[in-house]
Homo-oligomer: A and B are copies of this chain.
Amino acid sequence: MFRKLFLNKKMILPAIVFLVITGARILHAQEEAAPTIASNAASIADTVIAVDTVWTLFCAFLVFFMQAGFAMVETGFTRAKNAGNIIMKNQMDFAIGSLAYFLLGFGIMFGTDMIGGFFGWGGDPAQSGSLRPFTFWLFQVVFAATAATIVSGAMAERTKFTSYLIYSGIVSALIYPVVGHWIWGGGWLSRVMGGAMIDFAGSTVVHSVGGWCALAGAMILGPRIGKYGPNGQVNAIPGHNIPLAALGVFILWFGWFGFNPGSTVSGLAPNIAHIAVTTNLAAAAGACSAMIFAWFRFGKPDISMTLNGALAGLVAITAPCANVSPQSAIIIGLMAGVLVVVAVEFIDKVLKIDDPVGAISVHGMCGSFGTMCVGLFAQEKFGGVNGLFFGGGVNQLLIQLTGIASVFVWTFSLAFIMFKVLSATVGLRVTQEEELRGLDIDEHGCESYSGFQIFSTQ
């Protein structure tokens, strides 16, 4: 449309209408003989909004692309016979989540505050602060979808497709938006104990919400057939496509450059590069420490643990990314990398909860850990408060812990009830026969790798 503008001056294009209404000031400044101080100021303001909008949109696009990353990680870490099913779940939770968040979720998250900060009501998706209409919604919907999609990995290879679809709608329309309202939408956690919980880009809001839903789901579902032996021994069920999983991790890392720096919702924010750097260093550190720690624990540098380590660093830095120094980011990443290995083993071997991709450890545990780190490593000079290690005392830490705990209670309880109800009604788990044969055949009537010889002894 616009592209023709300069090629065919005679044409009166609908696009021009827009320009006349809102974009005109700039053109005027260019075309007319006498710009004034005021017209310049107006043009500048308009340009600033454009830069903020362009930045926010691009970051939103990158965050959208994380859906592909999750899909690849989850597919790669599970078995070939369920590959199509997990792909479908990843695509559909975004599709359903988009619609649910448009129709309901956004309103709850950013609407007028109700019942003392508990939830919002009536937010309009077009409402975008000083950004262009709908910019903010797009940025938010990709976050909501991230929270939703985390769960599919933990519940992979045994969950009924229909139940998963229902779950997707509920989490995007209700569970996530309420937490979002508490912390980002002006709810009670944004004004608590004389301060505000700091969760810059969503270690808690997004990741731990996903992680705790995953925990509830995986607990209620029970382990995959063959995961735990009759005498309690733990069996490995290796993923079928490590290169695909690694591609997924690279895509996620790439997308995280939208996730964290984009959470400024402003290209003029002076700290966007700072955030990108803390994000990158934490991921790098997480990969290193997870690799080394796994090497030490299991004798070999485990690939899937190292990949998880990078994600652990990313999840952990998500809350503190704007408030800590790059050096602190490295430390946070290093700790997250170790934590994720410990957490995976603990959940798998002690709790005996079967989480095929480590979603609970990566997103739930490391998300909470990262949120806590704000209370430890934050430095006032980056624009917030000082954390415990920088002389700020324990107040912020307590706020953070309050936030972590409340989000856990809300999310886990609701998710638990939801999955129990689904289990009792639609049914949450496929039959044993279907699980053995693979969900691709029974749920979707197809094979994901038609023609390939695949050993399916598990």
Contacts and interface: CB of A to CB of B under 8 A. Distances in A.
Contact of A246 (B87, B128, B258): B87
B96 A288 contact: yes
A228 interface: no
Interface string A31-55: 0000111111101111110110111
Given A3-B263, A281-B99, A288-B99, A54 B55 contact: yes
Interface in A40-74: 40-41, 43-48, 50-51, 53-55, 57-58, 60-62, 64-65, 67-68, 71-72
A47 B57 contact: no
Contacts of A68: 247, 250-251, 254
A373 to B, nearest CB: 15
Interface string A75-105: 1000110011001101110111111001000
A269 interface: yes
Contacts of A94: 284
Interface stretch (A6-14, A405-413, A423-431): A6-14
A50 B268 contact: yes
B269 A15 contact: yes
A103 to B, nearest CB: 9
B72 A243 contact: yes
Interface stretch (A130-138, A150-158, A206-214, A342-350): A130-138
Contact of A61 (B196, B243, B257, B303): B257
A19 B383 CA distance: 9
B8 A445 contact: no
Interface string A193-210: 000101011000000000
A452 B455 contact: yes
Nearest to A161: B301
Interface residues of A, number: 167
Given A14-B383, A92-B291, A185-B4, A449 B129 contact: no
Nearest to A283: B95
Work out how many copies of this chain go into the complex: 3
Contacts of A385: 14
Contact of A18 (B26, B60, B269, B300): B269
A146 interface: no
Most chain B CB atoms below 10 A, which of A41, A68, A90, A273: A273
Contacts of A450: 79, 238-240
A220 to B, nearest CB: 23
A159 interface: no
A41 B75 CA distance: 53
Given A35-B41, A257-B61, A238 B47 contact: no
Nearest to A329: B102
Contacts of A46: 268
Contacts of A375: none
Contacts of A258: 61
Interface string A160-196: 0100000000000000000000001110001100001
A231 interface: no
Nearest first, the 9 A-B pairs at minimum CB distance are A6-B129, A14-B384, A68-B250, A8-B186, A453-B453, A98-B284, A135-B273, A35-B41, A238-B450
25 contacts: A4-B190, A13-B196, A14-B322, A15-B322, A19-B269, A21-B270, A51-B267, A53-B273, A54-B267, A64-B253, A67-B250, A92-B288, A92-B291, A95-B287, A98-B281, A134-B277, A141-B280, A240-B449, A240-B450, A242-B448, A242-B449, A299-B445, A300-B444, A302-B444, A303-B440
